[in-house]
A and B are shown apart, each in its own frame.
Chain A
Amino acid sequence: DSGVTQTPKHLITATGQRVTLRCSPRSGDLSVYWYQQSLDQGLQFLIQYYNGEERAKGNILERFSAQQFPDLHSELNLSSLELGDSALYFCASSVDAGAVDGYTFGSGTRLTVV
């Protein structure tokens, strides 16, 4: 157990729907990162939050949004889902925004869009 908790572990939904993925960072970590891993794209950085504020953005689609709440948990919202959004979504956390000592990843949410 890495200490980063992601729920749900599996999610199956239909095209056009909206889902919310949740991440609780490791205790004491203030920064949260979201990554998408699909078969043909590898691990892609989506977005970083630090203590509730957005810090860095990757190639995140406009249909996707995220936020970090005062209790430091984070949610990734995916809307108007397409078949191509099927992927593993990983959350990671670090003590600070610089993450010199690396990230701790959760076990991921497997999203299947049918």
Chain B
Amino acid sequence: DAKTTQPTSMDCAEGRAANLPCNHSTISGNEYVYWYRQIHSQGPQYIIHGLKNNETNEMASLIITEDRKSSTLILPHATLRDTAVYYCIARLYSTASKLTFGTGTRLQVTL
């Protein structure tokens, strides 16, 4: 699985959009980009994933650059409950599957 690089921490004002970047410059054509988050010692929570196209669900949007070397997770209207560590993971589809978590980005949403 390709290595991903994320900023260590970010701040966002409540109600504003939170844009979390992820670099995965060595990603291969059949590796997916996954985003999970972990709210203080709770189990990680799946947010969204994509391969080539941009994706949107009820939680967030995922924007993948055309060359697939980077992506951005967008939380359109961040709330205090979105304060968490966000993990960007590049994963090759396999039935012998594992997600490799890095250190992630600690997002602090403030009033």
**By DSSP majority rule, is chain A's interface helix, strand, loop, or mixed?**
strand
Tally chain A residues at the interface, Cβ within 8 Å.
31
Q: Which of A33-63 contact B (CB under 8 A)?
A: 33, 35, 42-43, 45, 48, 50, 55-56, 58
Instruction: Give which listed residue, B41, B93, B97, contacts A108 with CB less than 8 A.
Output: B41
Instruction: Give which listed residue, A31, A42, A110, contacts B97 with CB less than 8 A.
Output: A31
Return chain A residues, CB-CB under 8 Å to B49. Answer: 100-102
**By DSSP majority rule, is chain B's interface helix, strand, loop, or mixed?**
loop
Q: Report A27 CB to chain B, min CB distance, Å.
A: 17
Closest Cβ neighbor of A43 among chain B residues: B101
Q: Report B65 CB to chain A, min CB distance, Å.
A: 21
B102 on the A face (CB < 8 A): yes
Q: Report B100 CB to chain A, min CB distance, Å.
A: 7
Return chain A residues, CB-CB under 8 Å to B36. Answer: 102
Q: Which of B60-111 contact A (CB under 8 A)?
A: 87, 93-103
Q: Which of A1-15 contact B (CB under 8 A)?
A: 2, 4
Interface string of A91-114 (1 = CB under 8 A from B): 010101111111111111010000
Return chain B residues, CB-CB under 8 Å to A105. Answer: 43-45
A88 on the B face (CB < 8 A): yes
Instruction: Give which listed residue, A2, A45, A98, contacts B43 with CB less than 8 A.
Output: A2
If A55-B95, A98-B94, A102-B34 touch, whether A90 touches B43 (CB-CB below 8 Å) is yes
Decide if A42 touches B99 in the complex (CB within 8 Å).
no
Binding site for A on B (CB under 8 A): 32, 34, 36, 38, 41-46, 49, 87, 93-103
